[in-house]
Amino acid sequence: MIDVEDGLLLILDFEGILHDMNLLQIFNLPQDQEKREAQKKLRILVAEDSAVARKIIRDILESAGREVIITESGKQAWERLNQIFQESSSYGKNIRDYIDLVLTDIEMPEMDGLTLTKLIKETPGFFNIPVVINTTLSDETNQQKAKTVGGG
């Protein structure tokens, strides 16, 4: 848990919780097609090095009608964000027209999720992108690091 201005923020081990509770089938229920089409298609960039976690996260988000862009490291996510930024800028649009949320793991090869979050929060044009940090590391040190870089 992390203290933020508006209260507490919980960083969850999403993969572990779903696995332990055997709840993955819940997310495979068919959704009303009209509701699904009426919802804004949220675009979520996921940075996760675990193939199992990537599959679980993709399946859940896509079954909820979200568009998912998968990367395997913070570095890949950062490169993809920059590509999207260039594309959006060339059309005179804001990156938020293309990415609604970044969901990142903390520990990854090439660039960890904390570094990715810090880059996003310190880069003009990117800092308004919400970032959710997903991790199995819930100790006080990692909570403080997530808070320090602006992750939620």
Given a contact cutoff of 8 angstroms between Cβ atoms, the answer to whether 104 and 116 are in contact is: yes
- Hey, CA dihedral for 50, 53, 58, 59, is it positive or negative? positive
Model pLDDT for residues 105-115, shown as the tens digit of each residue: 988 889 999 89
Model pLDDT for residues 67-103, shown as the tens digit of each residue: 999 999 999 999 999 999 999 999 999 999 999 999 9
Q: How confident is the model at residue 37 (pLDDT cuts 50, 70, 90)?
A: low
pLDDT of 11: 58
Beta-carbon contacts of residue 54 (< 8 Å; ≥ 6 apart): 46, 48, 70, 72
Considering the four listed CATH numbers 3.20.170.30, 3.70.10.10, 3.40.50.720, 3.40.50.2300, the one that applies to the domain covering 2-24+39-149 is 3.40.50.2300
**pTM of this prediction exceeds 0.75:** no
Which single residue is written with the structure tokens 């810090």? 118
Model pLDDT for residues 55-68, shown as the tens digit of each residue: 989 988 888 888 99
Residues 115, 94, 89, 122: what is their CA dihedral angle, to the nearest 10 degrees? Answer: -30
> At residue 25, does pLDDT exceed 90?
no
Q: Work out the percent of the chain whose per-residue pLDDT is above 70.
A: 62
Given a contact cutoff of 8 angstroms between Cβ atoms, the answer to whether 46 and 71 are in contact is: yes
